[in-house]
């Protein structure tokens, strides 16, 4: 009998505020340990938290993007538990009144669209961090992260495979970064994923789940879930039982191992935080957030296809991040909206290739949108051929200036003089009599050979369209 896999994800998205959720301490990454934790973050006696209002708008933006119910009443609660890096003994979070209620996110796997339910998303503070081994045999506590604002986004257990889980996580990552509410940096822990995985026989109740904690790579999410599915199936089939626990993924061994047994929600003894008053969200607040939101990725992809004539692949690549979409639209704007396909081709092929080779993001591109638009404009007005354009692009990438500068400095302007091209065509035909005979005998593919010879003779600078036209006339 086969097995069914049931997966739900909890995603922690760090919000893009400058200060913490309940204090004015900085959340800048990489500061010296304990240099960015104030008395509020440490829960010192007599300290009162104050809600950073920026987090409310960011939470509402996500709710609107997920077509979700919005929490008109915001209440913060204390979730009581002890960790060494949580000196207050409780985490301030939202229990009964989350900022985002039920919503959904559509994902695509192997060409099929699947709607994944979002149970809720709530605001909360992060804990500190335990650093093991900094001092031999001891554990250091860094509280810089304590109080960092998070949105915990909880999905329904609607995911049925590791591939679907990764597609959902990627789509959520795309959404929060497009909205600008999270920088999405997984290496720095700004976007972390917990996976709840269980297996069952078809028709049976849900199996006992294990939680895979704090995975910060899409590839590791997939590998960890695949391992956990196999572990649970083998355990059950050998007569064992899955226990509810939190497990860690070890990327070196590609295994998961037990971290701790999972407490039930009741063990946390939630109660409303007595230091924070409830917050009311008005219709005006919601409309102000809605008005400030950018065009979302799904809508942008559809527009690129329907209005700009791009194919689904190009539209997908160009909306893979907000920075990429903005770069494309900037190039398009600088070329007065002419030939979106040509602009897309240069970004998704030559520029993307150069960025990958240099391990750079589009935001760090060595060729600006304006410079690339300048190159495309010279192709459009026939100043250079597509082949020469690649030479110009390489020079631009090396910092040799604009397309116009490089074309002038290297003498790359396209040859459009009909007389000059005719002379080159006649010379090529005269030097290749057997190929001319083959063409006239019906081997039309020889035309490409002649074009190549003329382009070679011109150093790649002859206008290919004119070369084709003149060759056909001469061979007719």
Q: Name the least confident of 106-120, 348-362, 403-417.
A: 403-417
In tens, the pLDDT along 354-399 reads 999 999 999 999 999 999 999 999 999 889 988 889 999 999 999 9
3-state secondary structure of 341: helix
Residue 196 phi, psi dihedral angles, 5° rounding: -100, 115
Whether the pLDDT of residue 338 is over 80: the answer is: no
The alpha carbon of residue 336 and the mean position of all alpha carbons in its chain are separated, in whole angstroms, by: 28
- Would you place residue 264 in the very low, low, confident or very high pLDDT band (cuts 50, 70, 90)? low
Distances (CA, A) of 357 to 286, 325, 400: 43, 20, 19
Would you state the pLDDT for residue 239?
Answer: 94
The alpha carbon of residue 321 and the mean position of all alpha carbons in its chain are separated, in whole angstroms, by: 5
Burial class from Cβ neighbours inside 10 Å (0-12, 13-18, 19+) for residue 107 reads buried
The CA distance from 332 to 343, in Å, is: 7
Q: What is the DSSP letter of 13?
A: E
Whether the pLDDT of residue 161 is over 80: the answer is: yes
3-state secondary structure of 448: helix
Tokens matching residue 452? 């190549």
The CA distance from 59 to 98, in Å, is: 10
Whether 247 and 228 have beta carbons less than 8 Å apart is answered as: yes
Would you state the pLDDT for residue 135?
Answer: 81
Tokens matching residue 363? 């935001």
Residue 212 phi, psi dihedral angles, 5° rounding: -95, 120
Q: What is the DSSP letter of 243?
A: -
Would you state the pLDDT for residue 1?
Answer: 61
Instruction: Give the position of tokens 């849900």.
Output: 206
Q: What value does the CA radius of gyration of the chain take, rounded to a whole number of Å? A: 30
Give one DSSP letter per residue of 108-168, joined into a string: EETTEEEEEEEEEEEEEE---EEEETSSTT-EEEE-TTTT-EEEEEEE-S-B-SHHHHHHH
Would you state the pLDDT for residue 268?
Answer: 87
Instruction: Give the position of tokens 């001469």.
Output: 474
Q: What is the DSSP letter of 19?
A: B
Task: Name the residue among 88, 162, 151, 96 with its Cα closest to residue 124.
Answer: 151
* Mean pLDDT calculated for residue range 309-322: 93
Whether the pLDDT of residue 265 is over 70: the answer is: no
The CA distance from 279 to 73, in Å, is: 6
Name residues whose C-beta falls within 8 Å of residue 287's C-beta, 6 or more positions apart in sequence: none
Q: Name the least confident of 163-177, 216-230, 303-317, 445-459.
A: 445-459
Would you state the pLDDT for residue 263?
Answer: 52
Would you state the pLDDT for residue 259?
Answer: 82
Instruction: Give the position of tokens 């939470």.
Output: 59
Task: Name the residue among 463, 311, 308 with its Cα closest to residue 389.
Answer: 463
In tens, the pLDDT along 25-59 reads 999 998 999 999 999 998 898 899 999 999 999 99
* H helix runs in 138-217, sequence order: 162-179
Tokens matching residue 107? 């994902």
Whether 454 and 429 have beta carbons less than 8 Å apart is answered as: no
Dihedral (CA of 131, 135, 138, 141) sign: negative
Query: CA torsion 262→208→156→4, rounded to 10°?
Result: 150
Would you state the pLDDT for residue 148?
Answer: 97
Task: Name the residue among 150, 261, 270, 158 with its Cα closest to residue 211.
Answer: 261
The CA distance from 236 to 200, in Å, is: 10
The CA distance from 340 to 314, in Å, is: 10
* Mean pLDDT calculated for residue range 108-124: 96
User: Taking the model in full, what pTM does it have?
Assistant: 0.85
The CA distance from 238 to 232, in Å, is: 10
Whether the pLDDT of residue 463 is over 90: the answer is: no
Distances (CA, A) of 349 to 132, 357, 379, 390: 44, 12, 16, 11
Q: Round the average pLDDT of the chain to a whole number and report it.
A: 93
- Would you place residue 266 in the very low, low, confident or very high pLDDT band (cuts 50, 70, 90)? low
In tens, the pLDDT along 247-258 reads 999 989 999 988
Whether 429 and 356 have beta carbons less than 8 Å apart is answered as: no
């Amino acid at each position: 009998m086969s097995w069914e896999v049931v997966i739900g994800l909890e995603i922690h998205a760090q919000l893009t505020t400058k200060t913490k959720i309940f204090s004015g301490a900085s959340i800048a990454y990489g500061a010296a340990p304990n240099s960015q934790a104030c008395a509020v973050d440490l829960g010192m006696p007599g300290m009162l938290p104050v809600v950073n209002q920026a987090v409310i708008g960011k939470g509402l933006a996500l709710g609107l993007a997920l077509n979700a119910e919005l929490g008109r009443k915001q209440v913060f609660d204390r979730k009581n538990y002890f960790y060494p890096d949580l000196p207050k003994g409780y985490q301030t979070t939202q229990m009964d009144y989350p900022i985002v209620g039920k919503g959904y996110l559509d994902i695509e796997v192997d060409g099929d669209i699947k709607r994944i339910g979002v149970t809720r998303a709530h605001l909360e503070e992060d804990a500190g961090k335990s650093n093991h081994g900094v001092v031999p045999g001891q554990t250091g506590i860094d509280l810089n992260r304590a109080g960092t604002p998070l949105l915990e986004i909880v999905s329904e257990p609607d995911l049925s495979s590791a591939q679907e889980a990764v597609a959902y996580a990627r789509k959520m990552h795309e959404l929060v970064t497009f909205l600008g509410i999270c920088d999405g940096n997984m290496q720095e822990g700004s976007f972390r994923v917990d996976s709840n995985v269980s297996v069952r026989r078809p028709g049976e109740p849900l199996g006992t789940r294990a939680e895979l904690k704090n995975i910060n790579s899409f590839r590791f999410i997939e590998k960890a879930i695949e391992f956990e599915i196999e572990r649970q199936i083998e355990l059950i089939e050998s007569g064992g039982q899955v226990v509810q626990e939190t497990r860690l993924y070890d990327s070196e061994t590609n295994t998961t191992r037990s971290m701790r047994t999972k407490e039930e929600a009741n063990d946390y003894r939630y109660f409303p935080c007595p230091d924070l008053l409830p917050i009311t969200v008005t219709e005006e607040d919601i409309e102000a957030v809605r008005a400030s939101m950018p065009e979302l990725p799904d809508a942008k992809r559809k527009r690129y296809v329907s209005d700009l004539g791009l194919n689904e692949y190009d539209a997908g690549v160009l909306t893979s991040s907000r920075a990429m979409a903005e770069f494309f639209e900037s190039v398009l704007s600088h070329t007065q909206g002419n030939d979106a396909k040509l602009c897309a081709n240069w970004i998704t092929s030559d520029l993307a290739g150069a960025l990958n080779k240099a391990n750079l993001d589009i935001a760090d591109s060595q060729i600006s949108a304006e410079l690339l638009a300048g190159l495309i404009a010279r192709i459009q007005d026939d100043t250079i051929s597509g082949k020469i354009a690649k030479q110009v692009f390489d020079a631009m990438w090396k910092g040799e200036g604009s397309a116009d500068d490089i074309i002038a400095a290297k003498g790359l302007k396209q040859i459009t003089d009909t007389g000059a091209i005719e002379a080159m065509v006649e010379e090529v035909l005269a030097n290749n009599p057997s190929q001319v005979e083959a063409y006239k005998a019906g081997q039309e593919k020889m035309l490409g050979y002649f074009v190549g010879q003329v382009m070679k003779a011109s150093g790649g600078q002859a206008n290919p369209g004119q070369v084709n036209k003149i060759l056909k006339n001469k061979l007719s």
